[in-house]
Structure 1
Amino acid sequence: MDAESAALLEQAAELRRAGRVEEAIAAYSDLLKREPDLADSWYNLGWLQRQARQYELALHSYAEALKRGVRGPEEVHLNRAVILSDHLARPAEAEAELKAALAINEVYVPALLNLGNLHEDRGDRAAARATYERALAVAPNHPLALARLAGIVEPKGDSADRLIGRLEGEIAATREPAARADLGFALARLLDAQGEYDKAFAAAEAANLASREAFGRGFRPYDRAAQKALVDRLISAFSKPVARDGEPAPAVFICGMFRSGSTLVEQILGGHSAIVSGGELDLIPALPGRIAGYPEAASNPDGAELESWRRFYLDGLAPYRRGQALVTDKRPDNFLHIGLIKTLFPDAKIVHTRRHQLDNLISLHFLHLGPAMPYGLDLDDSAHWYDQHERLMAHWKTLYPDDIFDVDYDLLVREPEPVLKGLLSFLGLDWEDDLLHFHRRAGTVKTASVWQVREPLHARSSGRWKHYRDQLERALGELTGRE
């Protein structure tokens, strides 16, 4: 390598370390035109392109790294699998990449965990279980593998009883907060299913505490004043309805509280011949970070700005589109951005999922959420988020009363056909008899509700909060008005 190439390599590395993604991509691209055999630089370029959402280019760069003998090729195959599965809707190719990683290193636990998760997404319980057990054979008592295994076993019976004891033992033995969180949420699920409600709630509470600890010093706890201020700004910025333009939106936007039935609604709709399931897309939440001065700046964009935002969304949606079919964009927290959605696509239809508040709060409390959703770590914070969600949704419904359709989870599971016929009428679609057989349908589901939507409709989760009345009263105070 000559001096000029060496200087360019150092510049590219400095830009990458500084988080200047676009500049680093340009520098690595220039370097690799001069020095195409630098496998590690191809890897770094692929990593940066993935951060920039240049997924096809990232796949190409990772392939070049493999071709040129990159160190740790199993990790490169893993990275390619994540892109194919999470961003390009190509699960079969993702599986091939994971198997390629394991052909290189059969004890590579990250590939085993991702392969098991891919089997779960596709509803193959036996394959998922075998893969997690294979991971545990390689790394006995690996916390995430053990937690994932606990998440797919039948919650009653000898296997579940043995797993409960094993989870309790591992929680007691580990000081690692991330491991305690993984194991604790799995334990809470099994105890809840067995009717051990006091123990289940205690396990969930401990798991949430461990999550806070695991997020470290940089963790920002839920800020109630900031969330209220954001909702105030959204209401003020998007104070008037956008006029329809007669152009059909490319997607149906399904939103609401997490754990309010959005995955179930999408899975049912995904059986319609005119709809393709897109899953939990991150396209709308990614846009505010690209709009300086959001939300105020998004309420009245010029033509060029609006077109660039629309293009960003449509490019990201492209891997999911099939002819003229609508794509379901099921992202619960898109309720924050209905004003932006209607700015992008004035004729967009919004499906808003609802659930009994206390059932929703308990379900959140038992769910392992990341640091981006800190409200879920505390019941009182979750109640505050819920109340702000209700306040903002009331505003959107005032602006767009004919473009938002509420689906009540409890009514849906009790009387599905009339609810679905109303929803289809709202979407301008005809009834199809196969819709209620959603649990038999092949396909990928990439949310925490992956196994619930593989079952026929049932009302077992309605009224679940009553098992935790005492704990809810301790956390929230008097429940009057929330019951």
Structure 2
Amino acid sequence: MTEPNWHALGVEAAQRLREGRAGDAAELFERMAQLRPEHADTWFNLGYACRADRQYEAALDAYSEALARGVSSPEEAHINRAVILAEFLHKVPEAEAELRQAVAVNPQALTAWLNLGGIEDDLGEPAAAREAYRQALKADPRSGRALARLAAIDVHEGEHERAAKLLGDSLQQGARSAEDAAEMLFGLGAALDAGGEYSEAFQAVTEANRMAAGVRAPTGRYDRAQHERLVDALIAMPPIQSAGPWPADKTPIFICGMFRSGSTLVEQLLARHPEVTAGGELEFIPAMTREDLAPYPERLTGTSAKQFEALRDKYLEQLQRLFPDAAQVTDKRPDNFLHLALIKALFPAARIIHTVRNPLDTIVSAFFLYFGDAIRYADQVDDIVHYYTQYRRLMDHWRSQFGADVHDVDYDRLVIDPRSELEPLLAFCGLEWDEACLAQTPNEAVRTASNWQVRKPLHARSSGRWKNYARELEGARRRLADLGLL
């Protein structure tokens, strides 16, 4: 093939990526790599396309080829390999090793230091995390994320005044970007909250959310009408086919509910049982709705039992690759409450754990956290209230459909008397009681925005937190009360 044709393949592959057709792009990049295997950037682009298409092992191989062939920015290949290993393949030690290789070849690799600090956060290693963030600040002294993460460790260690001073001084010096300022303001809000300066804390996170919303593309903002249409369609959906029987003890344990309702804590406690492995926030179900069942949920009604069986096989194959030795795995995606009809079609015997919490505590907790583009509705209290009302409406519908297959775990009762919530939970999951579930510390990485909180012994300090912001939340409280949701 001539040189212009090789370049034409690259142009076509880039266009496929812009169209969201990552699989097609990967095929084109693979053809390019076969034609010019010495071209390192082609292997890097193939890795990117495979990752976007969720071909994770192929992506790792492509990035390795890029490194072997002398890609111009090797730290970027190591960073991308680390993201795949940590977030999608649950291989945290291997991810940490990749990031250390990234900073070895480029000590100024800010993203690598930030991601390395994040892994140390997840592993519960504050000293190592602190050192990584300090190195990030050497690469970029104005990194809002590094400063906010350092402050979070200070708050975790009881040094909220030091955290507030660090972030306050940094904000006065001026942030490099709106996103950096938002990260620091969220961190400042958490530090002020820990110090009991509630009015100032709420002001800080209100400004943080305003700035975070400002950098988000219009298509990434929360659309109330669109979300209501989705919930309407799910509620109006007639009965659908199912994949047929599948043993309950070989079915994943699904955990869902509102974000910030205790799902991570429930998974961690459940995974201390010797027969349970924490799967974390698996992407299998949401990806299925995009890749196999679009337009969703309309496509569900036209899907045959045979097609659902094929989708179940696809889910189980992915699960087996991640956890080949696990007896039973949890799938903790809070927003899977949107997909319970699909889950029950795939796994008719599926047990659904639904985490519940005081709605005002849930709302204030979501408002105080920086989610980036992952959650669209948390920028404004009114949007969180709207999302919450739609969630409650849909969960009422699912209970009418699935009855005893949905088990509520109350966060506020769990932190006060864990045994009283865990004993019926284990029985619901078909598991014998095990005292290990009452252990006070997790034994593996905790990937959540509240990883430092989850690592602390159980406490009830977050229950009733909304009362510190009663004045600011009065409108939300009235709205929920009028709807009978309090």
> TM-score scaled by structure 2?
0.93
Check conservation: 2:155, 2:163, Cα contact below 8 A. Answer: no
Q: Distance in 1 between the 2:105 and 2:123 partners?
A: 25
Question: 237-246 or 423-432: which moved more?
Answer: 237-246
Give the partner amino acid of 2:270: L
Count how many residue pairs are aligned between Structure 1 and Structure 2.
Answer: 480
Question: 133-142 or 416-425: which moved more?
Answer: 133-142
Q: Distance in 2 between the 1:8 and 1:296 partners?
A: 35
Post-superposition CA distance 1:349-406 (Å, at most 9, x none):
0000000011111101101123342211111111111111111111111111111100
In the alignment, what sits opposite 2:287? 286
Q: Distance in 2 between the 1:301 and 1:219 partners?
A: 29
Indicate the SS of the match to 1:471.
coil
Check conservation: 2:81, 2:95, Cα contact below 8 A. Answer: yes
In the alignment, what sits opposite 2:349? 347
In the alignment, what sits opposite 1:200? 201
Check conservation: 2:142, 2:176, Cα contact below 8 A. Answer: no
Question: 204-213 or 101-110: which moved more?
Answer: 101-110
Post-superposition CA distance 1:67-124 (Å, at most 9, x none):
1111000110110011000111111111111111111112211111111101111111
In the alignment, what sits opposite 1:221? 221
Check conservation: 1:281, 1:331, Cα contact below 8 A. Answer: yes
Q: Distance in 2 between the 1:31 and 1:16 partners?
A: 15
Check conservation: 1:244, 1:347, Cα contact below 8 A. Answer: no
Q: Distance in 1 between the 2:11 and 2:457 partners?
A: 57
Q: CA deviation at 1:245?
A: 2.0
Q: Distance in 2 between the 1:29 and 1:156 partners?
A: 49
> TM-score scaled by structure 1?
0.94
Give the partner amino acid of 2:447: K
In the alignment, what sits opposite 1:430? 432
Q: CA deviation at 1:18?
A: 4.7
Q: CA deviation at 1:177?
A: 1.4
Aligned pairs for 1:45-64 within 5 A: 45-64=46-65
Check conservation: 1:240, 1:399, Cα contact below 8 A. Answer: no
Q: Does the C-alpha gap of structure 1 residues 345 and 238 become closer, same or farther in structure 2, counting only changes over 3 Å?
A: farther
In the alignment, what sits opposite 2:105? 104
Q: Distance in 1 between the 2:157 and 2:475 partners?
A: 29
Indicate the SS of the match to 1:451.
helix
Q: Does the C-alpha gap of structure 1 residues 27 and 246 become closer, same or farther in structure 2, counting only changes over 3 Å?
A: closer
Check conservation: 1:276, 1:320, Cα contact below 8 A. Answer: no
Q: CA deviation at 1:31?
A: 2.2
1:386 to 385, 388, 397: 388
Check conservation: 1:241, 1:400, Cα contact below 8 A. Answer: no
Aligned pairs for 1:21-420 within 5 A: 21-154=22-155, 159-172=159-172, 173-174=174-175, 176-216=177-217, 218-239=218-239, 245-248=245-248, 249-290=250-291, 291-323=293-325, 325-420=327-422
Give the partner amino acid of 2:235: I
Q: Does the C-alpha gap of structure 1 residues 418 and 430 become closer, same or farther in structure 2, counting only changes over 3 Å?
A: same
Give the partner amino acid of 1:367: L
Q: CA deviation at 1:195?
A: 0.4
Q: Distance in 1 between the 2:386 and 2:274 partners?
A: 39
Check conservation: 1:123, 1:442, Cα contact below 8 A. Answer: no
Q: Which runs of 5+ in 1 are unaligned?
A: none
Indicate the SS of the match to 1:195.
coil
Indicate the SS of the match to 2:472.
helix
Give the partner amino acid of 2:236: S
Q: CA deviation at 1:180?
A: 1.4
Give the partner amino acid of 2:359: Q
Q: Distance in 2 between the 1:39 and 1:246 partners?
A: 46
Indicate the SS of the match to 1:443.
coil
Q: Distance in 1 between the 2:476 and 2:335 partners?
A: 24
Post-superposition CA distance 1:264-321 (Å, at most 9, x none):
0000011111100011111111111121332122145224422332233223322432
Indicate the SS of the match to 1:287.
helix
Q: Distance in 1 between the 2:13 and 2:242 partners?
A: 44
Check conservation: 1:299, 1:343, Cα contact below 8 A. Answer: no
Give the partner amino acid of 2:308: L
RMSD of aligned C-alpha atoms? 2.1
Q: Does the C-alpha gap of structure 1 residues 326 and 201 become closer, same or farther in structure 2, counting only changes over 3 Å?
A: same
Indicate the SS of the match to 2:371.
coil
Q: Does the C-alpha gap of structure 1 residues 281 and 93 become closer, same or farther in structure 2, counting only changes over 3 Å?
A: same
Q: Does the C-alpha gap of structure 1 residues 57 and 479 become closer, same or farther in structure 2, counting only changes over 3 Å?
A: closer
Post-superposition CA distance 1:239-261 (Å, at most 9, x none):
57969725325310000000000
Q: Distance in 2 between the 1:133 and 1:186 partners?
A: 16
Check conservation: 1:365, 1:379, Cα contact below 8 A. Answer: yes
Q: CA deviation at 1:6?
A: 4.5
Check conservation: 1:271, 1:438, Cα contact below 8 A. Answer: no
Q: Distance in 1 between the 2:477 and 2:169 partners?
A: 31
Q: Distance in 1 between the 2:353 and 2:107 partners?
A: 44
Q: Distance in 1 between the 2:343 and 2:474 partners?
A: 37
Check conservation: 1:254, 1:332, Cα contact below 8 A. Answer: yes
Q: CA deviation at 1:163?
A: 2.9
Post-superposition CA distance 1:417-473 (Å, at most 9, x none):
12100000001100111111141x320111112111111111101111111100001
Indicate the SS of the match to 2:355.
strand
Q: CA deviation at 1:324?
A: 5.2
Check conservation: 1:258, 1:332, Cα contact below 8 A. Answer: yes
